[in-house]
Amino acid sequence: MSNKSGVILFSGTGSNLENLLKNKSNLDGKLIYKAAFTNNPSAKGLVICQKYSLDAVKSESNSLNSDLSNFLEKYDPDLIILSGYMKILPVDITKKYEGKIINIHPSLLPKYPGLDTHVKAISNNDEFHGATVHYVNEKMDDGPIILQGLFKLHNENDIDKIKNLVHKVEHIIFPIVVKWIAHDIVKLKGDAVYINGNRINSSIKYIIND
Ligand code: GRF
């Protein structure tokens, strides 16, 4: 099979973007990042794209979804990685690229789709918190879950500490999933995730010990 192509969509700081680019040699050339796209012309992630010589397309909000459609038509990627992309994808895009879009979200989905996930985990006295990598469907932060990284909260309520821990977990699990997809280890069939040809009935979990 020929190499796969990937594009990365981001909106902000881009620590996951940078981590994916840093880890690209682990993909053994099976997936090549072709370009990045952002809705935020002042996103810090743009500097990271420059550092890694990755073409980056910036869009303004009034033409965002048509710019994104054109970008995706141009690169025709096998994998679209939402790496802190803070905009909802239009349904025509989620349908057209079904099974090819993955997202990382800072909670243990299905808990806490949307914003303020750390605050919600604290106020519910959750035992565990973490991050989820999932296929994207037409609903926000929904879609079949591939891998979750989690850690014990230990009643921690310092948001910055928790945010750092979640980022740490994200920087572990996101490259793992991209590698699995690059190597055809993980696939979406219908709305089920298959790993090495076996359907998984609950997400795979990566537990960080402290
Ligand atoms: C991450 O926490 C990710 O889960 C969420 O947006 C954040 C992006 O962080 N979707 P960064 O820009 O990659 O540092």
CA of 195 to the centre of ligand 1 (A): 25
Q: In the prediction, which pLDDT does 1 show?
A: 59
Q: Which atom of ligand 1 is nearest to 14's Cα?
A: 12
- What lies within 8 Å, CB to CB, of 159 at 6+ separation is 118, 119, 122
Query: How many CB atoms within 10 Å of residue 187?
Result: 15
Peptide bond preceding 110 in cis form (omega within 30 of 0): yes
Judging by beta carbons within 10 Å of its beta carbon (0-12, 13-18, 19+), is residue 200 exposed, middle or buried?
middle
Per DSSP, helices labelled H in the chain are 15-22, 45-51, 64-75, 91-96, 117-123, 159-182
Q: Which of 167, 173, 177 to mutate to test the pocket of ligand 1 (most atoms within 8 A of CB)?
A: 167
Q: In the prediction, which pLDDT does 210 show?
A: 64
Per-residue pLDDT of the chain (210 residues; tens, 9 = 90+): 579 999 999 999 999 999 999 999 999 999 999 999 999 999 999 999 999 999 999 997 789 999 999 999 999 999 999 999 999 999 999 999 999 999 999 999 999 999 999 999 999 999 999 999 999 999 999 999 999 999 999 999 999 999 999 999 999 999 999 999 999 999 999 999 999 999 998 889 999 976
Q: Which of 16, 87, 132, 142 to mutate to test the pocket of ligand 1 (most atoms within 8 A of CB)?
A: 16
CA of 84 to the centre of ligand 1 (A): 4
Quick one: DSSP state of residue 191? T
| 6 CB near ligand 1 (under 6 Å) | no
Q: How far is the CA of 99 from the CAs of 21, 64, 188, 199, in angstroms?
A: 22, 22, 6, 15
| 130 CB near ligand 1 (under 6 Å) | no
For residue 32 the two structure tokens come to: 């090549």
Q: Which of 26, 17, 130, 22 is nearest to 83 (CA)?
A: 17
Residue linked to tokens 């230990």: 154
Q: In the prediction, which pLDDT does 62 show?
A: 87
Rounded CA-CA distance 210/208 in Å is: 6
Rounded CA-CA distance 205/79 in Å is: 22
Is residue 118 flagged as an active site residue?
Answer: no
